[in-house]
Amino acid sequence: MFGLSYLDISGSLGLCATGLLCFNFILGILLSTGFKSQPFWKKLPEKIRLLPVERIHNWTAYLALFFAFLHPCILFIDKASGFEWKHIFVPLSAPKQPAIVLLGVISFFALIIVILSSQKIIKKKLGFRTWKNIHLISYLTALLFLIHGLFMDPLLKDRPTDFIDAEKLFSEFCILLLLVAAYYRFHYFQSKQTKLRKK
């Protein structure tokens, strides 16, 4: 289709999922830090400040899950890849890079758990603290998915990772963004705890 192989399509879907997960993670960090009261947010243009951040956060999660699901499904169509449905449930039997495939599978199911637990009815039944603890899985989900994308050979030939390849640079950039966002979140948590202790 348009000169693209199944591998190309699968790789592109994986990159879409990677970008969406990264963006979703950053939005989640913002939502957990009372961003609307922060000086940097107040300096942004009004059009940005009026964006429905929580709704965008939810929909990017759904889209990321959709692309993450399609990403391996395309390979199942390509018989030459050797990948089958069973490898979603038994990833260590995958024909190529089983350990890296395992990371992708774990992150996929972790994403499903995070999304399901965030549905209003389920979230209410779980209670805030339990939901919050489950939601922390998203940190691991994003990291595992990015490592999967960074070390998986897009041609399925078990080649060593080319860290300056455009696709890999994108994953590296996303990893950097997530680390910066996680640091910001941790710094916010520490400053909040310090203020509570002073009271």
Structure letter (DSSP) for residue 4 = -
Looking from the CA of 169 toward its CB, the CA atoms found within 13 Å total 3
Nearest 10 degrees: Cα torsion 73, 79, 84, 85:
40
Q: Give the closest residue to 146 by CA, choosing from 161, 136, 160, 157.
A: 161
**CA dist 152 to 15, 115, 139, 146, Å?**
12, 25, 20, 10
Q: Rounded CA gap, 13 and 156, in Å?
A: 16
Longest dimension (CA), the chain: 64
Q: Give the closest residue to 10 by CA, choosing from 73, 91, 66, 60.
A: 73
What does each of the 199 residues of the chain score in pLDDT, given as a tens digit? 456 789 999 999 999 999 999 999 999 888 888 788 888 888 889 998 899 999 999 999 999 999 999 999 999 998 888 999 999 999 999 999 999 999 999 999 999 999 999 998 999 999 988 988 888 888 888 888 999 999 999 889 989 999 999 999 999 999 999 889 888 888 887 887 777 677 6
Return the domain boundaries, the chain: 6-198
Q: Give the closest residue to 170 by CA, choosing from 10, 3, 21, 9.
A: 21
